[in-house]
């Protein structure tokens, strides 16, 4: 029986086969790619940063918000002080799209995270063509050789990389690429269960000098204070913001602005 993560990756590969343009054509588009905006720099500093997410649905919660106007939502995030905007491009489970990503990037001036399950070199290259300033690599969904290859490729293309981990073994694997940004996801992508214990266990183990991002399950100011005390430099928040009647006020509350 496959895990949720394995099922998602199977769908990603099927969708990619359906919509992929020839690699040579994609490579030719690199010359027209937009300049990158520096996600690492945007996440650097003494104050807590927030990566605010445009997210319609999730495997664990189903539909979250219709988000008829992703540009309008993203502009609210930017006005409220988000450092990076994350846009889901995975279609089946998260109801995201590349169109959402491109629409938002054309409207905002801050860096963008392409939030998807990157499992091929094609997607790494595609992400740069789309203008992703920050690329997500989920260690649990990649072999070690894939992880190292994709990390190096993304870096050579000029992108910053958010390396996502869920346990200590994955942290050890992640460190082999000398990452600059590591995200601890409190949601187990194999079972979809959330446990803040992941933050307590893993954030203090990440070496100094690496930007530490706390992902999933954060909805209260007290939770932000908790992960900050454990060493987090940034939080990634989606569900809480898309369900908030006023996402600007929600960001202000989380960051105590």
What angle, 0 to 180 degrees and rounded to 10, lies between the N-to-C axes of helices 144-156 and 168-175?
Answer: 50
- Give the chain's length: 257
CB distance 184 to 203 below 8 Å? yes
Dist CA 245 CA 192 (whole Å):
26
Catalytic, 185? Answer yes
Dist CA 64 CA 94 (whole Å):
9
Catalytic, 115? Answer yes
Catalytic, 53? Answer yes
Catalytic, 215? Answer yes
Q: Which of 52, 58, 127, 185 is catalytic?
A: 185
- B/e letters for 170-200, b = 16+ CB within 10 Å, e = fewer, are bbebbbebebbbbbbbbbbbeeeeeebebbe
- The sign one gets for the Cα dihedral 62, 64, 67, 72 is negative
Catalytic, 223? Answer no
Helical (H) or strand (E) element with 241: helix 239-242
Q: Which of 78, 126, 170, 215 is catalytic?
A: 215
Return the active site residues.
53, 55, 115, 164, 185, 215-216
């Amino acid at each position: 029986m496959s895990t949720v993560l394995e099922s998602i990756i199977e769908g990603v590969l099927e969708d990619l086969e359906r919509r992929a343009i020839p690699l040579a054509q994609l490579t030719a588009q690199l010359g027209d790619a937009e300049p990158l905006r520096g996600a690492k720099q945007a996440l650097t500093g003494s104050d807590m940063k927030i990566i605010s997410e445009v997210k319609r649905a999730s495997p664990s919660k189903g539909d979250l918000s219709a988000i008829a106007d992703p540009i309008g939502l993203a502009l609210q995030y930017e006005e409220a002080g988000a450092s990076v905007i994350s846009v889901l491009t995975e279609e089946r489970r998260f109801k995201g799209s590349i169109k959402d990503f491109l629409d938002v990037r054309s409207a905002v001036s801050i860096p963008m995270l392409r939030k998807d399950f990157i499992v091929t070199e094609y997607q790494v290259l595609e992400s740069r063509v789309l203008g992703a300033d920050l690329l997500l690599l989920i260690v649990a969904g990649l072999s070690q050789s894939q992880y190292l290859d994709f990390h190096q490729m993304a870096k050579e293309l000029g992108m910053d990389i958010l390396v996502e981990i869920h346990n200590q073994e994955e942290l050890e694997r992640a460190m082999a690429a000398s990452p600059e940004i590591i995200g601890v996801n409190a949601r187990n992508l194999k079972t979809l269960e959330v446990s803040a214990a992941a933050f307590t266990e893993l954030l203090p183990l990440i070496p100094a000098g690496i930007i530490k991002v706390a992902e999933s399950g954060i909805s209260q100011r007290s939770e932000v204070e908790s992960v900050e005390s454990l060493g987090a430099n940034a939080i990634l928040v989606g569900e809480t913001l898309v369900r908030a009647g006023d996402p600007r006020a929600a960001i202000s509350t989380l960051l105590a602005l």
